[in-house]
Amino acid sequence: MFEWLSDNRATIAAVLFVLVFAAFVWSIVVGRRQSRLRAKNEVFGDPARTRGGWYWSVTGVTALVLLWGYFSWGIVRAYFPNSANEMCQVAKLEEAVSPIKAALPIGARYYKSTLLAVRNAAQLDELQAELPALPFTAAEKEDLDLLVRDIRKLIANSSNPDNMSEEARDRLAGISARLIDLGGVLRAGPTGDMTPSPEALAQPKWGTGVPEIPILPVTTRGVLFDTVSVTAAEIAGEFNKIRNHVPQNEVLMADIAARIKAFKEANKAGSFDERTADAREAYVKAVERIFKRLDDGLIFPAAALANVNSAIQDLDAASRSAQGGLRVVDALFMPGPGIVKSRTQCTEQGSARWLPKPTDVVATFARLANPDVENGGGYRGFPLLWWDWVPVADIVAFFIPDWIADIWPGEYAAHGPDGTINPKFKDKLLAFAQGDVDLGSVPMLDGHIWDSLFRVLVALAAGIFLGVPLGLFMGVSRFFKSFFDPLIELYRPVPPLAWAPLILTIFGIGDNGKIFLLFMVAFAIMVISARTGASGVQLSKIRAAHSLGANDRQIMWTVIFPNALPEILTGIRIAVGVCWGTLVAAEMLAGTTGIGFIENIARTVSDYELIWVTILIMGILGLVFDLGMRWLIRKTIPWRGMG
């Protein structure tokens, strides 16, 4: 079932996108109609204007899903499932001709030859300008100047079309002709024998395997481009081998090489001081470097390459016409630079690279949510959210610290002369505290989400049970307020993560440190909200309670506490949100379970689907928490704002 869903995710997405789009349009229609109806009854600024309007929520959510589908290329995969494969074949051709293009204006603005000629000439100019100041004799300087001029002559000779050898001329003409032929093949379209191989058809569909985009062509058009790209790669290989060895240069080059050698020997033979020797040597080396760069025949006359350039232009035009509708799909539905082939795989570029498709996110989530850890479910051998049998003894041991047994009067039992032990009560207590007893098992929630939830809930509970009473006392007592205020205000503004390194050192990487970090956050918020609530009680209510005969403790719990309840609940709501945010950061620092842990691993391996899944899980859990708190607030304090 899941396999089938996973393999057909493109088709499923196609249906879903139609539904989402329909809902989008429908919600706008309904929304506009409702707005027209209500505009008559409600003036601008009337708070009633914000009530209802769920249809605009539908518009917002569907718009988000559509944008998501568009920018993640989910829509193009749903409706043109083969487009990526075809684009990949086009990318293969692009990759094949890229070495040729790199040498021509079509791919690099200037001819590569132009750049080489200009750059080398500029460096020769610099060398000539340096020469007068260098420690050479006047005769040597004259010779070197001549040498540089002769090297410059090499560039000029290579750039003259008249000097070009017949052979090089013919080979360039051959390249142009073959490229034009290749364009003809593309224009002719797929021939009968261009059918996808069975091997290609057996590849996993786009997005369901690794690599994401099937690389062998699965359509006739794809086969055409694939075939052409193979030939194009051959042509490019040949083009790279062509050298422009000009006959005029051969004598000159031998002469130059000999003169450079002579200078080198002169440098070695002469007894110069160290600095002079270095300067002379460096200059001759620099001249030699430029000379060596010019002896490999890479500078061609511009006119000789013009034909190749126009042949490539023709091939590009042929490619565009052979792509046909594919170009429209690319332009409209594939935001970003499209598909690029590199080495062994084709990859999506632009937003699709970091934004996974909605269906892929669901599939990844489903894989994570699968509790069958043995068969690839969960994450790192731990389910996302499931349950497990937990020995009751472990839970008991969690609540009973070992030192209870230690402080129990008496000594632990020692083994007797017969080698056996007769356990005393103290030993049994220790066994309880360490969970070494059999009390049966109970089902408990388990998994990454539960671990994160557990940390938040424990910290929150501790924060509430300690923070609220302290806050209430701070709200009614000068001593409590003044004593604790500086302590709390000192640590509260520090970002929780600033404490993290310290707390990790103190508590280790287990749950305790994270819970304590979260507790610190929740505690401060709860103290402040309870205090605000307590100090906001109307004096007349307190006086009424006094005159009705309530004592201080009764007033605390029957008047001040309920009066502070709205602030306390709002505080809890804020604390939940902040704890959730802090938790993820804390789990990124250390640990082996939790949502933040998953996200952290996903980050290091750049698994964007996993990153988005964890982001969505956190977002949805946060939303659920907040909705729950809103519901709780509505149910428990209906009197809010009515006192």
Partner 1 sequence: MADLVCENLGMTFTNPQTGAKVEALRDINFTLGKGEILAVLGPSGCGKTTLLNVIAGFIPPTSGRVRLGDKVIEGPGLDRGMVFQQGALFEWLSVARNVDYGPRMRGMDPEETARLVEKWLDIVGLQGFGDTPTYQLSGGMQQRVALARCLINEPEVILMDEPLGALDALTREKMQSLVLEIWKETGKTIMIITHSVEEALLLGERLFVMAPRPGRIHKEYRLPFADRGVNESLREIKHDPYFIEVREEILTMIWDMEEEIMGRV
Collapse the DSSP code of 222 into the 3-class scheme (helix H, G, I; strand E, B; otherwise coil) and give the result: helix
**CB 533 to partner 1: min, Å:** 12
Q: How far is the CB of 637 from partner 1 (least distance, A)?
A: 7
Provide the phi-psi class of 5: left if phi over 0, else alpha when psi is between -120 and 50, else beta: alpha
Q: How far is the CB of 474 from partner 1 (least distance, A)?
A: 20
Closest separation in Å from C-beta 534 to partner 1: 14
Query: Between residues 47 and 549, which has the closer beta carbon with respect to partner 1?
Result: 549
Alpha helix ranges (H) inside 371-508: 392-399, 402-407, 425-434, 448-476, 478-491, 496-507
Contact by Cβ (8 Å): 281, 253:
no
Q: Any idea which residue has 């009973």 for tokens? A: 400
Contact 566, 575 (CB under 8 A): no
Nearer to partner 1, 290 or 559 (CB): 559
Q: Where are the beta strands (DSSP E) in 52-99?
A: none
Give 273-280 contacts, CB < 8 A, sequence gap 24+: 276/135, 279/134, 279/135, 280/134, 280/135, 280/136
Task: Mention every residue, 6+ apart, whose C-beta is less than 8 A from residue 249.
Answer: 154, 157, 158
CB of 551 to partner 1, least distance (A): 7
Instruction: Spell 522-545 as b/e; 16+ CB within 10 A means b.
Output: bbbbbbbbbbbbbbebeeeebeeb
Percentages helix, strand, coil for the chain (3-state, rounded to 5) are 75, 5, 25
What b/e sequence results for 331-356 when a residue is b if at least 16 CB atoms lie within 10 Å of its CB, and e otherwise?
eebbbeebbbbeeeebbbebebbebb
Instruction: Provide, rounded to whole angstroms, the least separation between the CB of residue 639 and partner 1.
Output: 4
- Between 174 and 562, CB nearer to partner 1: 562
Would you say 492 or 541 has its CB closer to partner 1?
A: 541
Please report how close the Cβ of residue 399 comes to partner 1 at its closest, in angstroms. 34
Instruction: Dump strand ranges (E) for 12-125.
Output: none
DSSP string covering 254-311: HHHHHHHHHHHHHHHHS---HHHHHHHHHHHHHHHHHHHHHTT-----HHHHHHHHHH
Phi, psi of 341 (to 5 degrees): -100, 130
Q: With respect to partner 1, which residue has the nearer C-beta, 137 or 477?
A: 477
User: What is the Cα–Cα distance from 173 to 311, expressed in whole angstroms?
Assistant: 10
User: Residue 641 CB, nearest distance to partner 1 (Å)?
Assistant: 9
What is the smallest separation between the CB atom of 547 and partner 1, expressed in angstroms? 4
Rank residues 55 and 561 by Cβ distance to partner 1 and give the closer one: 561
Closer to partner 1 by CB, 517 or 560: give it.
Answer: 560
Residue 311 or 565: which CB sits closer to partner 1?
A: 565
In this structure, what is the dihedral angle of CA atoms 455, 458, 463, 465, given to the nearest 10 degrees?
Answer: 180
- What is the nearest approach in angstroms of partner 1 to the Cβ of residue 548? 4
**Residues 271, 89 contacting (CB under 8 angstroms):** no
Least distance (Å) between residue 550 CB and partner 1: 4
**Which residue ranges make up the site for partner 1 (CB under 8 A)?**
538, 540-541, 543-551, 554, 558-559, 562-563, 565, 637-639, 642-643
User: Closer to partner 1 at the Cβ: 419 or 549?
Assistant: 549
Q: Which is nearer to partner 1, 548 or 623 (CB)?
A: 548
Q: Check whether the bond before 211 is cis (ω within 30° of 0).
A: yes
Q: What is the distance between the alpha carbons of residues 517 and 91, in angstroms, rounded to a whole number?
A: 51
CB of 562 to partner 1, least distance (A): 4
Amino acid at 474: M
